[in-house]
Amino acid sequence: MGAASNEAKRRWNADNYTQVKFWAPPETAAAFKAKCIAEGVSMASAVIGFMKDKIDAPATAKQPLDITSRRKRRKAVEILVSMVAAILEAEQRYIDRAPENLRGASAYEVAEETVSALEEALEALKVAY
């Protein structure tokens, strides 16, 4: 496509859309991009879908988790495994980056205990999955 066509699209988008920018952790952005590619959807359409779901959801009531079928429960476990893995990775990064003088602090010890517990939980979930 030519420059004129691209310019026309840019003008149309500027007239009909609002650009939304935000910062995300690199691992989250990469995982989101990979998931969108795997599902064959654009990142923009996935975010727009999320925004519409948020707008339509009741403000005071949380939606109950639908785990009525085995397939939905397996999907829920898959999501849980990925969430636990992401938390484990973030906690491990905290430990790895902690300065030497904080390695004996209570927050550091809690992080080490958390990593240990998350590793055990992740192994148990993977066995169950």
| 30 confidence band (pLDDT: 50, 70, 90) | very high
Average pLDDT over residues 20-44: 91
Q: Concatenate the DSSP letters of all residues of the chain into one string.
A: --HHHHHHHHHHHHHH---------HHHHHHHHHHHHHHT--HHHHHHHHHHHHHHS-SS-PPPP---SHHHHHHHHHHHHHHHHHHHHHHHHHHHHS-GGGTTSHHHHHHHHHHHHHHHHHHHHHHH-
Global pTM reads 0.49
pLDDT tens string 43-91 = 998 999 888 888 876 665 566 778 889 888 888 888 889 999 999 999 9
Q: Please report, for the chain, the start and end positions of each structural domain, with discontinuous segments joined by +.
A: 18-62, 64-129
